[in-house]
C-alpha cells in the first residue's frame, strides 16, 4: 500500500489568468510562484492549500462544464471542496463579490452544510461548513 500523507495541490485549467486570480483572490488565494517552463501559476491560501492554475484553456464547450452540464457522464473530477470557517460569512463575501451560489445552502446526511459555486471557467467549487452553520442559515436537504 502507498501511504499518502497529504494532498499536495489541485490543478485547474483556466482561460484567463487575471480573471482567475481575481476570483480565487476572493477565496483567499494569493500568488505564490510562476513556473518558468510552463503556463502555470501557483497560488496558495493562508491554510496552505495550493492550486496550480494551468493557463491554457482554449474551448469552453459552449459555456458548459463537460463533467457536470451534459447528459453523458464522463469520468473525471467533478468538483473541489474546501472547508470554510463560517459558511454564513462565506455566503456574505460571495454576495459582496457578485459570485453566484449555483446550489445551496444544502445539508448533507452527514450534517455538514455546503454551497456550490463556479469559477470563471465553470469549474465547480463546494464551500463546506459544519452542522452549526446549518443552524444559522436557511438550508434545504441535499438531493443528488
Give the closest residue to 67 by CA, choosing from 57, 84, 85, 79.
79
Would you state the pLDDT for residue 96?
98
Retrieve residue 47's grid coordinates: 491554510
pLDDT for the residue numbered 131: 63
State which fold the 1-58 domain adopts.
2,3-Dihydroxybiphenyl 1,2-Dioxygenase; domain 1 (3.10.180)
Separation CA 17–CA 116 (nearest Å): 22
Q: Which fold has domain 61-144?
A: 2,3-Dihydroxybiphenyl 1,2-Dioxygenase; domain 1 (3.10.180)
Query: Looking at residue 110, what is its pLDDT?
Result: 78
Quick one: pLDDT at residue 62? Answer: 66
SS3 12: strand
Q: Do domains 1-58 and 61-144 have the same CATH topology?
A: yes
Q: What is the mean pLDDT of each run of 10 residues along the chain (144 residues)?
A: 85 93 98 90 96 82 68 81 92 96 87 91 90 69 66
Q: Where are the domains of the chain?
A: 1-58, 61-144
Amino acid at each position: 500500500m502507498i501511504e499518502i500523507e497529504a494532498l499536495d495541490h489541485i490543478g485547474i485549467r483556466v482561460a484567463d489568468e487575471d480573471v482567475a486570480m481575481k476570483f480565487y483572490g476572493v477565496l483567499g488565494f494569493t500568488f505564490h510562484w510562476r513556473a518558468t517552463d510552463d503556463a502555470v501559476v501557483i497560488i496558495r491560501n493562508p491554510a496552505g492549500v495550493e492550486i496550480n492554475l494551468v493557463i491554457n484553456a482554449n474551448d469552453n464547450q459552449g459555456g458548459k462544464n463537460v463533467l457536470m452540464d451534459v447528459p453523458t457522464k464522463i469520468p473525471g473530477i467533478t468538483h473541489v471542496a474546501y472547508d470554510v470557517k463560517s459558511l454564513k460569512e462565506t455566503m456574505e463575501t460571495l454576495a459582496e463579490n457578485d459570485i453566484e451560489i449555483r446550489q445551496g445552502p444544502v445539508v448533507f446526511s452527514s450534517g455538514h452544510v455546503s454551497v456550490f459555486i463556479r469559477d470563471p471557467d465553470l469549474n465547480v467549487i463546494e464551500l463546506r461548513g459544519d452542522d452549526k452553520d446549518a443552524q444559522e442559515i436557511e438550508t434545504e436537504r441535499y438531493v443528488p
